[in-house]
Structure 1
Amino acid sequence: MGGPDVLATWSTGEHTGAALDGKSLTFPTYRKGTGPGVIVIHEIPGLTPQVVAFAEEVVAAGFTVVLPHLFGTPGKGLSPASLATAFRQVCVRREFTKLATGTTSPVAGWLRSLARDLHDELGGPGVGALGMCFTGGFALAMMVEDTTVAPVLCQPSVPFAVTPGRSRDLGLSPADLDRVKERAAGGCQVLGLQFAKDPMTGRRFDTLERELGEAFLRVDFPGMKHGTVTIDRQQEGVDRVLGFFAEKLH
């Protein structure tokens, strides 16, 4: 199942921007739709058919969706081989932080640049950003800049929750966390979705509640599944995300 055909109706492009360490990065992008901008950041192993199907729902709801291609093979389905390939890619690339606490992944700088360009083109109050699993926290890191006004975290799983400290960490530098808290206090809400017993998300939602207070909109689904809007898709979750984007962006 899958393959590049799932992206056949999407326009291809690329974006070049500086990472947080000043290094220039270029990644391919796929784009579709009209209306306010939303950046959907794929999970491991990449732009799977399930990720693309969710993005199609966002397009149908009246948004311009941009899909960055950060790793993996576009359109390839979830399998042991695709997971292994993606993990090998992210583990050797310095723009992705895996275990370090109190650190923002350098690729967040590139994503912020992508959001700025999209907002400059489309206008409006700002753009939406949704990360999932390995990239779940990236949407929070994008919130450092005013351009991102609708951040959504789906089962954020980095840094990998192999210790209690890492399971509580938000994957942000102290300065970025201070800025996120400042924006939250100023009215920018954050939507978070997870399965309540998902070991990969650890205790991050507890940290978000403590740090952001009522600005963090927490959604917990029962059980130990993982992909809230993809492989273990919850209709309530998809509806909450689309409603959040509509409220903040239209």
Structure 2
Amino acid sequence: MTNLTKTDPLDDFARKPVTLLGQERLVYVAGSGPGVVVMTEMPGISPHVARFARWVRDAGFTVYMPHLFGRDGALPSLGYSLGTMARACISKEFHAFAANKSSPITQWLRALAAQAHQECGGKGVGAIGMCFTGNFALSMMLEPAVLAPVLAQPSLPLGKAGGMHIAPDELAAVKARMEAEDLTVRAYRFEGDSFCKAQRFAAYAEALGDRFEARVLPDSAANPDAIMKNPHSVVTLHLIDEADQPTVLARDEIIDFFRMRLS
């Protein structure tokens, strides 16, 4: 069981330096079965993110959890989160404020998904992005191996409630692929989330039609004891780990989505 009150050593994950497109990143890998790329929310691979990755692993998948920012295993705090966010916002790998534009890091993540499929086999790969990385799972569908994309509280572009963090030509290609292969994307948010508002889901629904499957949870379903009071992190910080809780049901639905598409 993950201890959410102290730094997570992540010692049940293999630490693998992975070089793709000329860039090396550390990737935490665990499990067996079809691959699922788990992309961390701000401020990094917290114990809450690692807990979700373990749930996916224990459901019969191989988790690939790349280091993208922050201190791996560290507990989230306000100061740490703001500092990590500021550094990410000025990084050339992320275009945090850009609507109708994809972050360059998504190219590396697509290559990681392709490698995961090659290593794990099966029908394809799942991908879930959260918060800062939430939109990335959609861009990753430009990689043919990605069959099960999940957008958890996609928060980019910052400051543009109805903005979509994907280039128009990529969005068109993703939609065409979903139509051709009968695929869908799942998306989750809390109703009152101030970072991922209703306008963003409405924009994706208009662009993708019934290929965009939205789930909106009531704010009352968020863990009231979380350090962040704005209801936001559906399957991590604000998840209430009790039977029949809406956040637990959302987690199980995501895992079932991976199972349906990949197993």
- TM-score band by shorter chain is over 0.9
Summarize the alignment of residues 99-248 of structure 1 with structure 2, pairs less than 5 Å apart: 99-160=97-158, 162=159, 166-186=160-180, 187-202=182-197, 203-223=199-219, 225-233=231-239, 234-248=247-261
Aligned AA (2:6): G
Unaligned segments of structure 2, at least 5 residues: 220-229, 240-246
Q: What do residues 53-83 of structure 1 show as CA deviations (whole Å, max 9, x unaligned)?
A: 0111001100000110111001101102321
| Shift, 1:93, TM fit | 1.2
| Shift, 1:14, TM fit | 1.9
Assess if the C-alpha contact under 8 Å between 1:144 and 1:176 holds in 2.
yes
Counterpart of 1:49 in structure 2 is 47
Summarize the alignment of residues 16-27 of structure 1 with structure 2, pairs less than 5 Å apart: 16-18=19-21, 24-27=22-25
Aligned partner (choices 2, 7, 10) of residue 3 of structure 1: 7
Tell me, in whole angstroms, the C-alpha distance in 2 between the residues paired with 1:174 and 1:215: 16
Tell me, in whole angstroms, the C-alpha distance in 2 between the residues paired with 1:54 and 1:10: 13
> What is the identity percentage for the equivalent residue pairs of Structure 1 and Structure 2?
37
Query: Which has the higher mean CA deviation after the structures are superposed, 78-87 or 63-72?
Result: 78-87
Q: What do residues 108-129 of structure 1 show as CA deviations (whole Å, max 9, x unaligned)?
A: 0000000011111112211000
Assess if the C-alpha contact under 8 Å between 2:20 and 2:111 holds in 1.
yes
Tell me, in whole angstroms, the C-alpha distance in 2 between the residues paired with 1:207 and 1:145: 23
Assess if the C-alpha contact under 8 Å between 1:16 and 1:110 holds in 2.
no
Tell me, in whole angstroms, the C-alpha distance in 2 between the residues paired with 1:244 and 1:55: 15
Aligned partner (choices 63, 66, 87) of residue 65 of structure 1: 63
Tell me, in whole angstroms, the C-alpha distance in 1 between the residues paired with 2:205 and 2:8: 39
Query: Helix, strand or coil for the counterpart of 1:87?
Result: helix
Tell me, in whole angstroms, the C-alpha distance in 2 between the residues paired with 1:195 and 1:216: 16
Query: Helix, strand or coil for the counterpart of 1:168?
Result: coil
| Shift, 1:4, TM fit | 4.2
| Shift, 1:211, TM fit | 1.4
Counterpart of 2:244 in structure 1 is none
Which runs of structure 1 show a deviation greater than 3 angstroms over 4 or more consecutive aligned residues?
none
Q: What do residues 119-169 of structure 1 show as CA deviations (whole Å, max 9, x unaligned)?
A: 111122110000000000010110122111000000000001x2xxx2222
Aligned AA (1:231): L
Tell me, in whole angstroms, the C-alpha distance in 1 between the residues paired with 2:165 and 2:19: 23
Query: Helix, strand or coil for the counterpart of 1:129?
Result: strand
Query: Which has the higher mean CA deviation after the structures are superposed, 131-140 or 79-88?
Result: 79-88
Assess if the C-alpha contact under 8 Å between 1:185 and 1:212 holds in 2.
no
Tell me, in whole angstroms, the C-alpha distance in 2 between the residues paired with 1:188 and 1:87: 32
Tell me, in whole angstroms, the C-alpha distance in 1 between the residues paired with 2:248 and 2:14: 27
Query: Which has the higher mean CA deviation after the structures are superposed, 41-50 or 206-215?
Result: 206-215
Assess if the C-alpha contact under 8 Å between 1:17 and 1:109 holds in 2.
no
Query: Which has the higher mean CA deviation after the structures are superposed, 193-202 or 35-44?
Result: 193-202
Alignment pair present for 1:87 and 2:85: yes
Assess if the C-alpha contact under 8 Å between 1:76 and 1:82 holds in 2.
no
Query: Which has the higher mean CA deviation after the structures are superposed, 197-206 or 62-71?
Result: 197-206
Alignment pair present for 1:12 and 2:8: no
Aligned AA (2:217): F
Summarize the alignment of residues 22-33 of structure 1 with structure 2, pairs less than 5 Å apart: 24-33=22-31
Counterpart of 2:262 in structure 1 is 249
